[in-house]
Amino acid sequence: MIIGTGSYIPELVYTNEYLETILPTDAQWIFENVGIKKRHIANKLQATSDLAAEAGRRAILNAGLKSEDIELIIVATSTPDRKAPSTAAFVQHKISAINAVAFDITAICSGFLFSMSIASQYIEAGIYNNILVIGADTFSKITDWKRRDAIFFGDGAGAVVISVSNTTEGL
């Protein structure tokens, strides 16, 4: 059962009007055809794990838990801080989840859904009671801002805490 949610988006914003100044595109066209008005962009010092950790903290707080209550952290990301260790390990350290194991899932857009599926299986099997699942990316760091497809990409993180439930209603 999802017992807490949290999110984080960086302060810096690229609007369609800004992109119009650096790309061969039109702000109105972006909104009418893609539905995006703005995208949030991480600053040069923010790593994916920073965004993920803040979203995770907020989800844990929203769930009424402490970081020590989390037993597993799964981070879905396609823009990890490094190849190794996992971004989830950085998050574990940053939020002081001293009782958690941690790993990443890399599956682009579907990564968060796969992570939720894995988490629910761990819960159903009775292996873990409290799992933090985070989807986080900093695509701005790997986006070529001269290409038209740059209009799609921004940065942010969302998190949920999944816990054991006595109901049979699913997540």
Each residue of 82-95: pLDDT tens digit? Answer: 999 999 999 999 99
Residue ranges per domain, the chain? Answer: 2-9+47-163
- Cβ–Cβ contacts within 10 Å for residue 93, how many? 14
pLDDT, mean of residues 16-30? 93
Q: How far apart are CA 39 and CA 139, in angstroms?
A: 11
Strand partners, 41: 12
DSSP 8-state assignment for residue 150? G
CA separation, residue 18 to residues 120, 139, 143 (Å):
41, 17, 16
**Per residue in 51-70, pLDDT tens?**
999 999 999 999 999 999 99
Give the CATH superfamily of 2-9+47-163: Thiolase/Chalcone synthase (3.40.47.10)
Distance CA 7, CA 4 (A): 11
Give 108-154 pLDDT, tens digit per residue: 889 999 999 999 999 999 999 999 999 999 999 999 999 989 999 99
Confidence (pTM): 0.93
| Contacts of residue 163, Cβ cutoff 8 Å, sequence gap at least 6 | 1, 3, 63, 123, 129, 130, 131
